[in-house]
Amino acid sequence: MAVLNIRKAGDMVLKKKAEPVVRIDRKIKQLLDDMSQTMYHADGVGLAAPQVGVSQRIIVIDVGEGLIELINPVITASEGSLISMEGCLSVPGIYGDVERCTTVTVEGFDRHRKKVRISATDLLAKALQHEIDHLEGILFIELAKTIHKEQKS
Ligand code: NI
């Protein structure tokens, strides 16, 4: 496993629409391992493959309830709306209030090529929407109603 370099806002890979994964092979499993290690190392709750320079539809999330790995995730249902603060490992030191759906259902595949369906609320729902946005080339700062810069103390 390896800690990968996290791409920062301004890097074109973050603006690109990511490609679907065609085959879940050893390379993809290695990437999943590296992505979760990179996320934990950076103390983040989610990471999308474009953030490590790979324009493929893969995300990892851990909001404190265990690691979730999703390949080709799609939001199949959503409900409600809530504005709350978000940050992103690709936009360090910046936070913003973003409107998200309160509840989402996401379908995708795990590393064993098994179809998975996750129904989520709260922080997990927010993280899923944030990471799936990365696959569309969208950063939260483009959606934020207000932006805050971290105050250095
Ligand atoms: Ni992000």
How many CB atoms sit inside 10 A of residue 138's CB?
16
Is 153 buried (19+), middle (13-18) or exposed (0-12) by CB count in 10 A?
exposed
Quick: pLDDT tens for 1-44. Answer: 899 999 999 999 999 999 999 999 999 999 999 999 999 999 99
- Return the DSSP state at 19: B
Q: Is the model's pLDDT at 152 over the cut of 70?
A: no
Give yes or no for residue 153 having a pLDDT over 60: no
Model pTM? 0.96
The yes-or-no verdict on residue 149 having pLDDT over 70 is yes
Q: Which architecture, in CATH terms, is 12-149?
A: Alpha-Beta Complex (3.90)
Query: What does the alpha-carbon distance between residue 66 and residue 105 come to, in Å, rounded to a whole number?
Result: 18
SS3 of residue 51 by DSSP: helix
Q: Compute the distance from residue 127 Cα to the ligand 1 centre, in Å.
A: 8
131 included as an active-site residue: yes
Cα angle: 61, vertex 138, 39; to 5 degrees: 25
Alpha helices in the chain (DSSP H): 26-41, 122-135
Q: Which of 131, 136, 142, 150 is catalytic?
A: 131
Beta bridge partners of 122: none
Inform me whether the pLDDT recorded for 151 exceeds 80.
no
